[in-house]
A and B are shown apart, each in its own frame.
Chain A
Amino acid sequence: RLRKWQTRARVQTSYERNFVQAAQELERLKSSMGVPRPCVEQALEIYRQALEKELVRGRSVEAMAAAALYMACRMLKTPRPLDELIRYTKASRREVARCYRLLLRELNVRVPISDPVLYISRVAEQLKLTGDVVKTAIDIINRAKKAGLTAGKDPAGLAAAAVYIASLLHGDNRTQKDFAVAAGVTEVTVRNRYKELAKALDIKIPVK
């Protein structure tokens, strides 16, 4: 009877200790990178499920918490690029990505496919662009999807290029670098996507 009590106490303690650790780590990530509160709550729920299915065994709390947050942000339609997330964690990109794949496979969760449109508002917000520019950018992405130009491409790069083209069409233009930095990709990627989209969608950019 004593052994039973000890076992139960030990299990509860380790589960709770791990969960509290994860909650603290998620709280730290929220304040350092400005993640919306609902994402943290969703991440906690994902982490709880991971703990119940014993997916955290042999893995660091940091890596699993980061993976849960990455997944939560995508589920709530406010994605953060994995490469941005890992700048705030001590866990390696490799391990966070591995945890994410584990969560994808083992939990019965549906994570919506990464959509360039979701990155448009982030870029527009950072660069303080108008609603008209955003509207045009979204239209460009939708046409690109129909034309089959988005398969395999980084959604952040596609969004950056679409917003770049949209702002060129609306007059006030900024450098490709501004869009690249806002989207977290290189200028080369913005340029490549821009050329591809402009040519395939036959978009004429006004020269000024």
Chain B
Amino acid sequence: MDSSRAAGPTHKIENIVATVNLGVELDLEQLAERLPVAEYNPDQFPGLILRLTRPRISALIFRTGKMVCTGAKNETDLKNAVHALVKLLNDNGADVPLNPEVQVQNIVASGSLNAEVDLEQAALLLDNAMYEPEQFPGLIYRMTEPRVVVLIFGSGKIVCTGAKSEKDVAVAVQRLYDRLKELGVLYVEEGGGAEAEEAEEEE
């Protein structure tokens, strides 16, 4: 019963985009021939597309030896996928180092503020906010520190994107929650009708 009020925000990492520098030039034509599952249409896109299953991670592989991995939900899956990709490339005529440099470029997370949001009020009170329900149901909020973009929906569900680390996501979500709470635009169902959520007493 004590934990019933002010549940606070929650979030989950949904997608990690990372770049990998394999350090050697690659023969994409040869790779495409040996890997029938690969997609390679240089007229359409200069990268070769490889899709791994379990976990479902996709890779864009370029002539220069640089690679983009998308779809991972955690760093472990990402690292394993990179190792699997390196082995796959080496088994098909390439000669790339076993432990290439991996850089996380973007993290997408979904989450919930566990409170409904008055988007119209939030749009008026927040700076760098755009709310255009004719075009998209979510309010687009550009946070400067950390530098992320959060999509906020009336239900309290959110999407945070642009983060470079999991910590950025956690900080951004908590900061957003605190800011919306102080603006009085968060609402919880009970307590005698739509009433602004009561501030949590900090000791």
Taking Cβ atoms with an 8 Å cutoff, the residues of A that contact B are: 81-82, 97, 101, 104, 113-114, 148, 150-156
Q: Say yes or no: is B134 at the interface (Cβ < 8 Å to chain A).
A: yes
Could you count the A-B residue pairs with CB atoms below 8 Å apart for me: how many are there? Answer: 41
Q: Say yes or no: is B13 at the interface (Cβ < 8 Å to chain A).
A: no
Q: Are B135 and A82 in contact (CB-based, < 8 A)?
A: yes
Chain B hits for A81, CB < 8 A: 134
Taking Cβ atoms with an 8 Å cutoff, the residues of B that contact A are: 116-120, 123-124, 130-135, 137-138, 153-154, 187, 194
Instruction: Name the one of B118, B132, B154 contacting A114, with C-beta atoms under 8 angstroms.
Output: B132
Q: Are B134 and A114 in contact (CB-based, < 8 A)?
A: yes
Instruction: Name the one of A101, A148, A155 contacting B118, with C-beta atoms under 8 angstroms.
Output: A148
Question: Would A148 and B194 be within 8 Å (CB), given that A101-B130, A104-B130, A113-B131 are in contact?
Answer: yes
Closest chain A residue to B142, Cβ basis: A105
Closest chain A residue to B116, Cβ basis: A148
A148 to B124, CA, bound (A): 16
Q: Are B134 and A113 in contact (CB-based, < 8 A)?
A: no
A150 to B131, CA, bound (A): 13
Q: Are B154 and A151 in contact (CB-based, < 8 A)?
A: yes
Q: Are A153 and B135 in contact (CB-based, < 8 A)?
A: no
Task: List 8 A-B pairs, minimum CB-CB distance, nearest first.
Answer: A151-B154, A152-B137, A152-B154, A151-B119, A114-B134, A113-B120, A152-B133, A114-B133
Q: Are B120 and A156 in contact (CB-based, < 8 A)?
A: no
Chain A hits for B119, CB < 8 A: 151-152
A156 to B194, CA, bound (A): 25
CB proximity of A195 to chain B, nearest CB, Å: 18
Chain A hits for B124, CB < 8 A: 113
Chain B hits for A82, CB < 8 A: 134-135
A97 to B131, CA, bound (A): 13
Most buried by B among A152, A154, A156: A152
Chain B hits for A97, CB < 8 A: 135
Instruction: Name the one of B118, B130, B134 contacting A156, with C-beta atoms under 8 angstroms.
Output: B134
Chain A hits for B137, CB < 8 A: 151-153
A153 to B132, CA, bound (A): 10
Closest chain A residue to B189, Cβ basis: A148
Q: Are B187 and A148 in contact (CB-based, < 8 A)?
A: yes
CB proximity of A192 to chain B, nearest CB, Å: 13
CB proximity of B134 to chain A, nearest CB, Å: 5
Chain B hits for A101, CB < 8 A: 130
A175 to B154, CA, bound (A): 30
Q: Are A155 and B133 in contact (CB-based, < 8 A)?
A: yes
CB proximity of A96 to chain B, nearest CB, Å: 11
Q: Are B138 and A152 in contact (CB-based, < 8 A)?
A: yes
Chain A hits for B120, CB < 8 A: 113, 151
Chain B hits for A153, CB < 8 A: 133, 137
Chain B hits for A156, CB < 8 A: 134
Question: Would A154 and B131 be within 8 Å (CB), given that A148-B116, A148-B154 are in contact?
Answer: no
